[in-house]
Chains A and B, each alone.
Chain A
Amino acid sequence: MKRRKLDLAQVPANIGKGVDDRFQAATPLRGLLNKVFPDHWSFLLGEIALFSFVVLLLSGVFLTLFFDPSMREVAYDGPYTALRGTEMSAAYASSLHLSFEVRGGLFMRQMHHWAALLFMASIVIHMARVFFTGAFRKPREANWTIGVILFLLGFFAGFTGYSLPDDGLSGTGLRIASAIMLSIPVIGTWLSAAVFGGEYPGELIIGRFYIAHVLLIPGGLLALIAAHLGIVFKQKHTQWPGPMRTNDNVVGERMFPRYALKQGGFFMAVFGTIALMAGLFQINPIWLFGPYRAAEVSSASQPDWYVMFMDGLVRLMPAWQIDIPIGDGYVIPPLFWPAVVGLGALFTLPMLYPSMEARRLKDHKSHHILQRPRDAPERTGVGAMAFTFFMVATISGANDVIADKFHISLNAMTWAGRIGLILLPPLAYYISVRICLGLQQHDREVLAHGVETGIIRRLPNGKFEEVHQPLGPVDDHGHPLPLDYAGWVVPKKMNRLGALAPAVKGFFFPVEKPVEAPVSPAVPPVSGPGTREEITSGR
């Protein structure tokens, strides 16, 4: 019998056929791999959040192998001499063990923390992209709401994680959380007692936050992220307007191979950036904060940046306490307004924004084409207003550090924050609406008259006139026919039209040498004869 020769080239095809024979995967897989995604750099911002979440899961699993979520008192006897012999909770001792004794432990902890900051930062940036381009409009309102809830879950994931090491900073944060719970009228006391298992801090909170941080909240995040991506998949990604792009199609790249390769590369970029930051920048040096003692609160005890806006609102709130003389008397402390009402409003309003806008504009159509921010000036203005409010609140959350490092009085910072919180958002609204209208007008002007060429022509009667290059056909007199605005970038420079050499490309060095500008034959050469006689008086 003749031995059959193995044909290596046929192996993948054979395996694929075998799989398809058994699972009938070819048809759905073909649809999946051929799915088209529109390509634009701003569509990659949400991916930063997705990829940093993957890093969070991986590094977090590593940390759980060494962390002991217990508030049992132990005396530290590890290698960090500055704390040796100090009484502390087992949670803090195991965090120190993780940082100083576990190989690569500190790096993993720092990676986890930086990934958390990046996760929240990219959520905010991605949210801004979706908001300013109108990507939240019908049919994507539900996905926008899921996104806001994802931010809220990330907020709580971050806060519970911040509390776990049980160092001085964790305890101070928990103390504030307990105060916020206590500030809620009527139920506050019971709520705080239920969460902490009695009086703050109790002996349960680390264990409870641990299970919330490693199971409940990540579970919720995972489920909502899956829903978020599934909805994007089903509803298809929005795209910018452009040639061949309509409200009913998607123009872009197939998922396989190009899009998948780009995403894989970008995942590596995110992973690398987080690892780079974890290796270069120290984050949360828990050993300096020491074990939590109620009497010790360091200055510059701040929450992580995404909670700082709430801290800022609390700092800016005047001390207005409301006493209600019913029964033994109830008190609504000033803390209640920024921390409970404010936080609630700041999460509810964005969730409702899509329906508010649709209602106001009476716009109930489906939109798959994005809008440039300038084309929706009011939305852009509202976004700028919200962003300014958030910035003032966040900066006020760090106002003591800013006051100290920039030599400003802390009282002045507080008052600047109070006034700024009220005055700056409307100002930001006005300025951004005006900028949007100006940009719109300039687009229309170029469409009507053409691109500025930079050539000034002098007419026989002595009049000077700027020459415009029309973007479309002209009428019998040479005047451009007005063009419609297509919702996308209007070319405003001659080199965009191909009339001049392309602009120099490249980040640090030009990718290609710029072509020399064409010289009109009517212009005499600039360089004269090589030698010139010296002009003298003749003597």
Chain B
Amino acid sequence: MTSDTPAGRRFRVFTRRRSAPSRARRRIGAAVRMLAALALAGGVYTAFAPGAFAEDDRQLSTAAQEGKALFDNSCITCHGRNAEGVEGRGPSLIGVGSASVEFQVGTGRMPMTRQEAQAEQKRPVFDETQTKQLGQYIQELGGGPEIPAGSLTKDVESDPEALSNGGELFRLNCSQCHGFGGAGGALSSGKFAPSLHDPTAEQIYGAMLTGPQNMPVFGDNELTPSEKQDIITYISLQLQEDTDPGGLFDLGGYGPSTEGLAIFVVGITLLVFAALWIAGKS
């Protein structure tokens, strides 16, 4: 016992002033208080938490049911029943949202060809409607980010700041991996940042919102929807449309490495032939 401590002594003094209840009463009282606390906690939990079998009795919309059928055919092997994921094969899709599905399926990255460092972009397996249905299913299953409706680019005529702001944000957030010209770049161990010359505005928005493969998530707290639209405006106007000055060929936008190749393949080759020709005239 801690009866020697000053605190213990004070406690005793305090209890001794009142008439001490019997040992049995103290025990019963404690048990009742315990029960009441448990009931309260449990009650609050049941009142606020979703039920364990909530999704079973929720009605899926027609589109989502179509999506579920597609899911059960093509995705369930890796992502598991009810998209709960399969250990060692594929992650749970609860809460990834339709934005993620529309990006991954819409660019052909999912279904994956094989397990490797990164899913390659390929011809989509599902058409646009099927992709929407799959997205709808995952959305109704666990919620998550969605690609907003409406235009995802800004009109530079009415909002002249958007382009330069987008460029600034692009260089700060995107160019480390995708490169200054959006040509893509290598990451470690076979992973890579893909080229940005082809994707649509929706795909770029979806990628920023959900962070597919090895890309970090740029949620609405990191980049507001308006900033995302600025970036997409910059990518689509500056990097995708070939309005870049400086000649017919931009050599891929890979920087000095292709320029070095060009000086040998074009410049030196032309001039060595010129030298052969001139020296041969005698």
Is B110 in contact with chain A by the CB < 8 A criterion? no
Q: Please tell me if B181 contacts chain A, counting CB pairs below 8 Å.
A: yes
Q: Are A274 and B256 in contact (CB under 8 A)?
A: no
Which residues of B lie under 8 Å from residue A402 when comparing CB positions? Answer: 257
Contacts A45-B275, A404-B184 known; A282 to B250 CB distance under 8 Å?
Answer: yes
B250 cross-chain contacts in A, Cβ below 8 A: 281-282, 285
Chain A, residue nearest B187 (CB): A410
Q: How far is the CA of A402 from the CA of B254 in the complex (A)?
A: 10
Q: Which residues from 73 to 129 on chain B have a C-beta closer than 8 Å to any C-beta of chain A?
A: 117
**Per-position contact with A for B181-206: 1 when CB-CB < 8 Å, else 0?**
10111111110110000000000000
Contact mask for chain B residues 239-282; partner A; CB cutoff 8 A; 1 contact, 0 none: 10000111111110111111111111011101110111011111
Residues of A within 8 A of B280 (CB): 41
Give bound CA distance, A117 to B164, whole Å. Answer: 31
What is the CA–CA distance of A304 and B238 in the complex, to the nearest angstrom? Answer: 24
CB distance from B53 to the nearest CB of A (A): 46
B214 in contact (CB, < 8 A): no
- A82-B234, A308-B257 known; A265+B278 contact, CB < 8 A: yes
Q: Are B262 and A277 in contact (CB under 8 A)?
A: yes
Q: In the complex the two chains form, what is the Cα distance from A300 to B262 in whole Å? A: 16
Alpha-carbon distance between A236 and B244 when the two chains are bound, in angstroms? 49
Complex CA distance for A44 and B282, rounded to whole angstroms: 15
Q: Taking the complex as formed, is B175 at the interface, i.e. its CB lies under 8 A from any CB of chain A?
A: yes
Q: Verify if B163 is at the interface (C-beta below 8 Å from A).
A: yes
Contact with A along B143-180 (1 / 0, CB 8 A): 00000000000001000110110111001100111111
Q: A281-B262, A403-B186 are in contact. Are A106 and B246 (CB under 8 A)?
A: yes
Known: A301-B255, A401-B186, A411-B188. Is A44-B278 also a contact (CB below 8 A)?
A: yes
| A284–B259 touching, CB < 8 Å | yes
Docked pose: A273 CA to B264 CA in angstroms: 12
CA distance A308 to B254 in the complex (A): 14
Q: Is A253 engaged at the interface, CB distance under 8 Å to the other chain? A: yes
Nearest CB in chain A to that of B248: its residue: A280
Of residues 104 through 139 on chain A, the ones whose CB sits less than 8 Å from some CB of chain B are 106, 110, 114, 117-118, 121-122, 125
Nearest chain A CB to B268 CB, angstrom units = 5
Q: Which residues of the other chain, A, contact B177 by a CB distance below 8 angstroms? A: 299
Number of interface residues of A (CB under 8 A): 76
**A118 contact from B178, B179, B268, Cβ within 8 A:** B268
Do B257 and A398 have beta carbons less than 8 Å apart? yes
By the criterion CB–CB under 8 Å, are B244 and A282 in contact?
A: yes
Q: Which residue of A lies closest to B255 (CB)?
A: A300
Give the contacts of A427-486 with B (CB-CB under 8 A).
none
Complex interface: chain B residues within 8 A of A299 (CB): 175-179, 185-186, 193
Those of A18-65 within 8 Å (CB) of chain B: 39-45, 48
CB distance A283 to B246 under 8 Å? yes
User: B257 touching A300 by the CB < 8 A rule?
Assistant: yes
* Bound CA span A198–B237, Å: 40
A41 touches B276 (CB 8 A): yes
Which residues of chain B come closer than 8 Å to A175, judged between CB atoms? none
B251 and A297 within 8 A (CB): no
Nearest CB on A from B116, distance (A): 11
Interface of A is mostly: helix
Q: Give A292 to B183 CA distance when docked, in angstroms.
A: 20
Q: Taking the nearest CB of chain A, how far is it from the CB of B244, in angstroms?
A: 6
User: Which residues of the other chain, B, contact A82 by a CB distance below 8 angstroms?
Assistant: 163-164, 166-167, 234, 237-238
Residue A266 at the chain B interface, CB threshold 8 Å? yes
A118 to B267, CA, bound (A): 7
Contact B163 A81 (CB under 8 A): yes
By the criterion CB–CB under 8 Å, are A283 and B179 in contact? Answer: no
Quick check: B179 and A300 within 8 Å, CB to CB? yes
Q: Which residues in chain A, 79-109, are within 8 Å of chain B measured between CB atoms?
A: 81-86, 99-100, 106
Task: Report the minimum CB–CB distance from B238 to chain A (whole Å).
Answer: 5
CA distance A84 to B186 in the complex (A): 31
The answer to whether B254 and A121 have CB atoms under 8 Å apart is no
Taking a contact as CB atoms closer than 8 A, the residue among B186, B256, B267, B276 that contacts A410 in the complex is: B186
Interface presence of A416 (CB below 8 A): no
Query: Pick the contact of B180 from A42, A110, A288 — CB < 8 Å?
Result: A288
Which of the residues A41, A83, A398 comes within 8 Å of B279, measured between beta carbons?
A41
Interface residues of A in 274-305 (CB under 8 A from B): 274, 276-285, 288-290, 293, 295-305
| A324: min CB distance to chain B, Å | 31
Residue of A nearest to B181 (CB): A288
Residues of B within 8 Å of A165, CB to CB, are none
Which residues on A sit within 8 Å (CB–CB) of B264?
A: 121
Determine whether the beta carbon of A289 is less than 8 Å from that of B180: yes
Distance of A412 Cα from B267 Cα, bound (Å): 31
When the two chains form the complex, which single residue of A40, A41, A300 contacts B185, counting CB atoms closer than 8 Å? A300
How far is it, in angstroms, between the C-alpha of A293 and the C-alpha of B180 when the chains are bound? 13
Residue in B184, B190, B268, B275 whose beta carbon sits within 8 Å of that of A44 in the complex: B275
Select the residue from B175, B280, B281 with max chain A CB neighbours within 10 A. Answer: B175
* Alpha-carbon separation in the docked complex, A397 to B180 (Å): 18
Within 8 Å CB of B244, what residues of A?
Answer: 282, 285, 288
Asked whether, in the complex, the Cβ of A285 is within 8 Å of the Cβ of B181, the reply is: yes
Cα of A269 to Cα of B269 in the assembled complex, Å: 12
Are B278 and A81 touching (Cβ within 8 A)? no
Indicate if A166 sits at the interface (CB-CB under 8 A): no
Asked if B171 contacts A290 (CB within 8 A), the reply is yes
Give chain B residues whose Cβ lies under 8 Å from the Cβ of A408.
190
A-B contact pairs, 5 of them (CB 8 A): A41-B278, A262-B279, A269-B274, A400-B185, A411-B188
- Contacts A289-B180, A301-B255, A403-B192 given; 5 further ones with Cβ under 8 A? A82-B164, A280-B249, A281-B259, A298-B255, A401-B258
